[in-house]
Amino acid sequence: MLLDAMRRAHLGYDKLLRLCREDIEAIAEIGERKLRNEAYRELAKKLRVIARPLPLGNGPKQAIIFDALAQAESFVELKREDENTSYPTVARLNVEENDHKAAYQALANSHSVLDAPPEKTGPHLSHKY
C-alpha cells in the first residue's frame, strides 16, 4: 500500500511539472521580481486545480504541489543565472516485482527482523542482541 501511495505521488508530481512547463518557462522570462511573485501565485492556483482530481489524500497533494512550486522557483532562479539550465525532469520508476516477492519471502521465513541476513536489513539491524 505504501509503495502504491509513493508511486501515485511520484506520477502526480511528474504530471504537475509536465503540464505547467510553459508557465514555468514564461516566469523565467519575467524580469521584475514583483511580477514574478504574482506569476508564482497564479502558478500555485493552477497546480492546485491540476492536483485536485489526483487519487491522493490531501497531505500528499499539498506535498507535491509544494514540491512542484519549489522546483519551479529553483529552475527560474537557475535559468536567470545560466541560460543553459535545462527544465527539471522526473526520473522514471523502475520497480521489479521479483525484488518485492523475494523480500516478502525472506520476511515470511524469518522468526524476527534480526533473523534476516545483514545485507537485507542494513547496518543498524545487522547485529544480534
Using the predicted structure, report yes or no on whether residue 84 has a pLDDT greater than 80.
yes
DSSP state, 114?
A: G
pLDDT digits (tens, 9 = 90+) for 4-59: 888 888 888 899 999 999 999 999 999 899 999 999 999 999 999 999 999 888 99
**Phi, then psi, of 54 in degrees rounded to 5:** -65, 145
Put simply, whether the predicted model's pTM sits higher than 0.85 gets the answer: no
**pLDDT band for position 114 (cuts 50, 70, 90):** low
Q: What is the model's pLDDT at position 96?
A: 59
> Span 63-91, mean pLDDT?
89
Q: What is the model's pLDDT at position 11?
A: 87
Residues 6+ apart with CB under 8 A from 66: none
Rounded CA-CA distance 51/25 in Å is 20
Say what percent of the chain tops pLDDT 70. 78
Using the structure block, give the residue that is written with the C-alpha cell 490531501: 58
